[in-house]
Structure 1
Amino acid sequence: MNSRVTVIMRSKNSAWVIGQALSGLFSQHRRDFELLLVDSGSTDATLDIARRFPCRVIQIAATEYFPGAVLNKAIQQAQGEILVFQNSDAVPLAPNALEQLLEPLESGQADATFARQLPRPEAHTWVRRDYSLAFPSQGVPPSWMVYSLPFAAMRRAAWERHPFYEDAWGSEDTEWGHWARQNRVVARYVPEALVMHSHNYTLRQLYGRRFIEGEADAFILQDKVSIPRFLRRLCKSWARDAGAHLVAGDLLGLMLSLPRRWVYHWAYWKGHTLGERRKKTGSQDTSIGQRVVLKRG
C-alpha cells in the first residue's frame, strides 16, 4: 500500500450506505491509498461493514464530534502527502472518479480539488434543483460554491498552511475554500469526478443544518443578517422552487416549498445571530450549534 494518498472518511450510523461508498472506493482504478475511518458513536452495523475493507478505525463519542477539529486530528494521524475526503454517504459513480480528483494535484495544476455531486434517485425536486446549480456538468460552479468535502482532495502542504476551521460547528469546507480564494490557493472543481450524494432532510434536520451554516457564516463572511435580507432571500428561493416544482409536475413539493424555505432561512437567521453575538462577546463556546444538530438528528 502506498502511503502517498490517505482517504479520510467520517461516519455515524451509516450502515444504510457505507457499504456502497466503500465498494465504490475500492473499485477505483486508483488503489494506492490508505483508508482512515473516523466513527463518532455508531450504534448500527456501520463498523461491522467498514471492517470488511482494509481500513484504520478511530472511534470517538458523538459528543466529541466537531467537524473541523476531528478532521485536523485525523490528518495528523494520516500518512499521505495527498489527503482525500469522502463522506460515508458519498458513492463514487465511476471507477475513475478518484483518478480524476487527484490528477490536477499530481500534475501541479491545483492545490485542492472537489467533485461533482449528483443527487440520489429519490432526491426531492428542490434538492435536484439546488444540486444542478451548485454542481454543473461542465465549467465552474457558482461563486458561493468554493469547496465541498463529500468527495474532495488537497495537498497536505495546503492544509498545513491553513488547517480546518474550528470556531463554529460545521462549514469547515466553506471556510477553507474562502481562505484558499483569498490567498491564491487553487481549489479546482472537477466535474469529471462523479459521486452520488444528497439528503432529503426533514424540517427538523434542515433546521439543524442551516442553523450551523448561519453561525459559521457570521465568522467566515463577516457579514450581518437583516429582516429585509431575510425576506428577499426567502421570496427569491421560494419562487425558484415553485418554478422547479411546476415544471416537474410535483404538486406536493410545491405545497411544501414555502414552509420548507421558511425553515431554511429562519434557521440560518437564528444561527447567524448567534454567531454575531459570539463575535461581539468573544465567546469560544461552539457547543450550541452541536446541540442543535444532535437534537434534530
Structure 2
Amino acid sequence: MAAAPQTSIVIRTLNEEAKLGDVLRALQGQTYQDFEVLLVDSGSKDGTVAIAEQFGATILRLDPGSFTFGRALNYGYERARGTYLVSLSGHAIPWCEGWLERLLSHLRAPDVAASTGGGFLPGDSPASRRTRVVRIEAANYKEAPLWGLNNAAGAVKAELWREHRFDEKLTGCEDCEWGWFWMKRGYALIWDEQCSVIHEHHETLPQQYRRSRREYAGLAAFLEMPRYGPREVLGEWLVTPLKEAAAALLRGYSCSRAAVMGGKYHGRRHPSPADYRLERPEDVTESRFPDGD
C-alpha cells in the first residue's frame, strides 16, 4: 500500500463541470505535490464526476438528501489520510503554483489551527494587491465574524479536526464555528491574501438572500452577537458614502446589497438551523469571502 500523503484535499461538488477541470489542473501545477484529492459529490447530473476521474481523484458519493456543508466535508475528511486537510470549492481555482505550499506553511506554527485566503475575480490577482496576512484570535474575531476559516478554500490540522468535527446541523458557517471553537482554546487562524483563489459565479437576488440568511443563521446559532434590528439595518445601509451611491446603483449593487442585508436580518433574528434547510440544488453555493468577492 502506498504511503499516506502529507495532505488531503477534499472538494465538495454539485454540477461543477464548468470550473472543476481548471481547479484540478491548477492543483496538478502546484510546486507542492504530496497530496491526494478526494471529491465528495452530492448528486451531480453533469460531467463533474467524469472530469474528476480523468484527473485521478477518489470519488465519494453523498446522498443529496443528507447534504449539509459540514456533513459533506466530514464525510470526506473521515476518508482522508493526510496530516493536513484542505477544503476547496469545485469552482475555486488556486491562483498560482505556490498557492498550496503557502497555505500549508502557516500550519507549521503550533498555535495555528487553520489557514485560509480570500476570493477574487478572473483578471485580477493578489499579486496586484496590497499583501495582507491577518492573525485572527478570540480577542478580535467578533469584530468581523465572517473573517476566519473559509471552507471554500482553507486548510486545517487533521488532529484538531478529529477532536472537533464540523457541525453538521448548521445551515452555513460551519467553518466559522470550527474556527471559533479552537480560538476559544488559544489557537489562531491565519488569513493570507496570497492564499486567495479565483472565484466567480453569478447568483440571482433570491440566491444571494438565501445564502446570506443561511450564513447569518449559522453564525447566530453559536456566536453571541449584538442586536441587529431595523434601526441597525438602516444604519448599515446609510454607511455607504454618497459619492459611491450613484455608481453602486448603476452597477445594480444596491439590489444585491439589499438581498444580502435582508438575509442577514432574518438569519440573525431566527438562528434555528431547522428553519433554513437547503431547499433546492441551486442553494448549494459557497461564496462567502470577507473581501466581498
Greater displacement, 190-199 / 170-179: 190-199
Is contact 2:8–2:86 with CA below 8 Å preserved after alignment?
yes
Partner of 1:229: 232
- Note if 1:207 corresponds to 2:209: yes
Is contact 1:116–1:137 with CA below 8 Å preserved after alignment?
no
- Note if 1:291 corresponds to 2:293: no
- Residue-by-residue CA offset, 1:243-265 (whole Å, 9 max, x unaligned): 2873xxx7630xx2322222211
- Note if 1:216 corresponds to 2:218: yes
- Note if 1:273 corresponds to 2:269: yes
Is contact 2:62–2:72 with CA below 8 Å preserved after alignment?
no
CA distance in 2, matches of 1:68, 1:241: 40
Output the aligned Cα RMSD: 2.8
CA distance in 1, matches of 2:284, 2:68: 16
CA distance in 2, matches of 1:211, 1:104: 31
Is contact 1:205–1:293 with CA below 8 Å preserved after alignment?
no
CA distance in 1, matches of 2:10, 2:238: 39
- Note if 1:140 corresponds to 2:134: yes
Which of 244, 249, 260 does residue 264 from structure 1 map onto?
A: 260
Structure 1 residues 86-97: aligned runs within 5 Å: 86-97=88-99
- Residue-by-residue CA offset, 1:52-74 (whole Å, 9 max, x unaligned): 11111111232221011221222
Query: Aligned partner of 1:39: which letter?
Result: D
- Residue-by-residue CA offset, 1:186-207 (whole Å, 9 max, x unaligned): 2112233242113332102101
CA distance in 1, matches of 2:209, 2:114: 30
Structure 1 unpaired stretches of 5+ = 279-284
Partner of 1:20: 22
- Give the deviation of 1:12 after TM superposition: 0.7
Partner of 1:252: 250
Query: Aligned partner of 1:50: which letter?
Result: A
- Give the deviation of 1:208 after TM superposition: 1.4
- Note if 1:101 corresponds to 2:103: yes
CA distance in 2, matches of 1:292, 1:241: 38
Q: TM-score, normalised by structure 2?
A: 0.82
The SS at the match of 1:16 is helix
Looking at secondary structure, tell me which structure has more helix per residue: 1
CA distance in 2, matches of 1:266, 1:222: 20
Which of 3, 6, 14 does residue 4 from structure 1 map onto?
A: 6
Structure 1 residues 68-83: aligned runs within 5 Å: 68-83=70-85
Quick one: structure 1 residues 214 and 104, their matched pair in 2 at CA, closer, same or farther if it must change by over 3 Å? closer
Structure 1 residues 53-68: aligned runs within 5 Å: 53-68=55-70
Partner of 2:166: 164
Structure 2 unpaired stretches of 5+ = 136-140, 286-293
Partner of 2:244: 243
CA distance in 1, matches of 2:22, 2:170: 31
Query: Aligned partner of 2:266: which letter?
Result: K
CA distance in 1, matches of 2:270, 2:75: 26
- Give the deviation of 1:117 after TM superposition: 2.5
- Residue-by-residue CA offset, 1:85-130 (whole Å, 9 max, x unaligned): 1111111111111111111223546321112422234x9xxxx9xx
CA distance in 2, matches of 1:92, 1:103: 15
CA distance in 2, matches of 1:114, 1:37: 20
Equivalent residue pairs, number: 272
- Give the deviation of 1:274 after TM superposition: 2.4
Quick one: structure 1 residues 65 and 34, their matched pair in 2 at CA, closer, same or farther if it must change by over 3 Å? same
Q: TM-score, normalised by structure 1?
A: 0.81
Structure 1 residues 28-43: aligned runs within 5 Å: 28-43=30-45
Quick one: structure 1 residues 53 and 189, their matched pair in 2 at CA, closer, same or farther if it must change by over 3 Å? same
CA distance in 1, matches of 2:274, 2:244: 38
Structure 1 residues 173-212: aligned runs within 5 Å: 173-212=175-214
The SS at the match of 1:17 is helix
